[in-house]
């Protein structure tokens, strides 16, 4: 059997049997539907892009995904099984990617639980399906970067609470990061472009409004790749 599949299965199984997976899924459904219907004015605005649902997703995921990703490496450190895992003849990159993928797939399943929303919506009004699909892809990309942050933080700590708080804090920092302010005085000339390239909220909003460019997708993908690379480096050198 392939080590990637073996580790992926172990992690996925741990998420489900550990109870945390179902707990997070339950909270995710309650909060997502609640915000969409009440705070998002689901019935009162022209919702052909399901804006009232997608606009809250980064907030909801920033709260819940660290609870899933904190188990990735923190759990191994806490149980003392990290040495066992690292003594197996498997590349560090395979270990990191398999663990990361397990949480990512679980996150995608969580997102699937919201499919009744666009289905119900499309029954009532003519929805913009291309934008809806792009918005779901955007949420998946946001999940990817949040889980990658959680994975990096979990590799640095053996305390669940610290891992959760650290991941949550870094995710919120990324979401609140406004590079326009940072570079304003330095390079006024390029202010607008840099904002578009690095501002999490601007990029996410443009994606769910159907105004995505390749650079928006590149922003998330490069962020995920960079964080996973950092995760591999930490795992390889943490032991020293």
Partner 1 sequence: MITVRGISKYFGETAALSDVSFSIRKGEIVALLGANGAGKTTLLRIISGLLTPSSGCVFIDETDIADNRVEVLQKIGYIAENSPLYDYMSVYEFMNFVAGMRQLSASTFSQRMEELIREFDLSNVINRKIGELSKGFRHRVSIAAGVIHNPEILIMDEPAEGLDPNQKYALINFIKSYARHGIILLSTHIMEDVEASATRILLLNEGKLVKDTTPTRLKHLLPEQDISAAFRSLTTTSGGRKVESLY
**Binding site residues, partner 1, CB under 8 A:** 1-3, 5-7, 9-10, 13-14, 17-18, 79-81, 83-84, 86-91, 239-240
Q: Locate tokens 């892009």: which residue?
A: 49
Q: How far is the CB of 76 from partner 1 (least distance, A)?
A: 9
Give the Cα separation of 136 and 134 in Å (integer): 5
Name the residue nearer to partner 1 (CB basis): 1 or 214: 1
Give the Cα separation of 159 and 89 in Å (integer): 27
Give the closest residue to 113 by CA, choosing from 171, 13, 206, 36.
36
Query: Could you tell me which residues come within 8 angstroms of residue 125 by beta carbon, excluding any fewer than 6 positions away?
Result: 46, 47, 48
Name the residue nearer to partner 1 (CB basis): 75 or 199: 75
Q: How far is the CB of 96 from partner 1 (least distance, A)?
A: 14
Q: Is 123 helix (H, G, I), strand (E, B) or coil?
A: helix
Name the residue nearer to partner 1 (CB basis): 201 or 238: 238
Q: How far is the CB of 209 from partner 1 (least distance, A)?
A: 43
Name the residue nearer to partner 1 (CB basis): 93 or 178: 93
Handedness of CA 203, 207, 210, 216 (dihedral sign): positive
Name the residue nearer to partner 1 (CB basis): 86 or 230: 86
Q: How far is the CB of 12 from partner 1 (least distance, A)?
A: 12
Half-sphere exposure of 44 (CA within 13 A, CB side): 5
Name the residue nearer to partner 1 (CB basis): 8 or 146: 8
Q: How far is the CB of 79 from partner 1 (least distance, A)?
A: 6
Handedness of CA 153, 154, 155, 158 (dihedral sign): positive
How many residues comprise the chain? 240
Q: How far is the CB of 15 from partner 1 (least distance, A)?
A: 11
Chain centre distance of CA 230? 16
């Amino acid at each position: 059997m392939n080590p990637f599949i073996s580790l992926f299965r172990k992690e996925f199984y741990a998420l489900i049997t550990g109870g945390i997976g179902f707990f997070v899924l339950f909270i995710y459904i309650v909060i997502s539907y609640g915000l969409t219907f009440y705070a998002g004015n689901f019935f009162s605005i022209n919702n052909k892009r399901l804006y009232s649902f997608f606009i809250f997703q980064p907030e909801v995921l920033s709260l819940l995904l660290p609870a899933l990703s904190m188990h990735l490496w923190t759990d191994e450190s806490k149980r003392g099984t990290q040495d066992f895992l690292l003594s197996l003849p498997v590349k560090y990159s395979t270990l990191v990617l398999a663990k990361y993928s397990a949480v990512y797939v679980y996150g995608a399943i969580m997102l699937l639980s919201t499919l009744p929303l666009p289905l119900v919506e499309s029954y009532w009004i003519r929805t913009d399906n291309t934008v809806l699909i792009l918005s779901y892809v955007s949420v998946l990309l946001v999940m990817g970067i949040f889980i990658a942050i959680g994975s990096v933080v979990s590799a640095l700590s053996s305390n669940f609470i610290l891992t959760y708080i650290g991941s949550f804090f870094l995710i919120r920092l990324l979401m609140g990061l406004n590079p326009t302010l940072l570079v304003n005085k330095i390079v006024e000339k390029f202010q607008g472009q840099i904002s578009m390239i690095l501002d999490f909220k601007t990029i996410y909003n443009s994606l769910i409004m159907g105004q995505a460019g390749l650079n928006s997708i590149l922003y998330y993908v490069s962020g995920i790749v960079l964080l996973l690379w950092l995760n591999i480096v930490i795992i390889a050198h943490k032991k020293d």
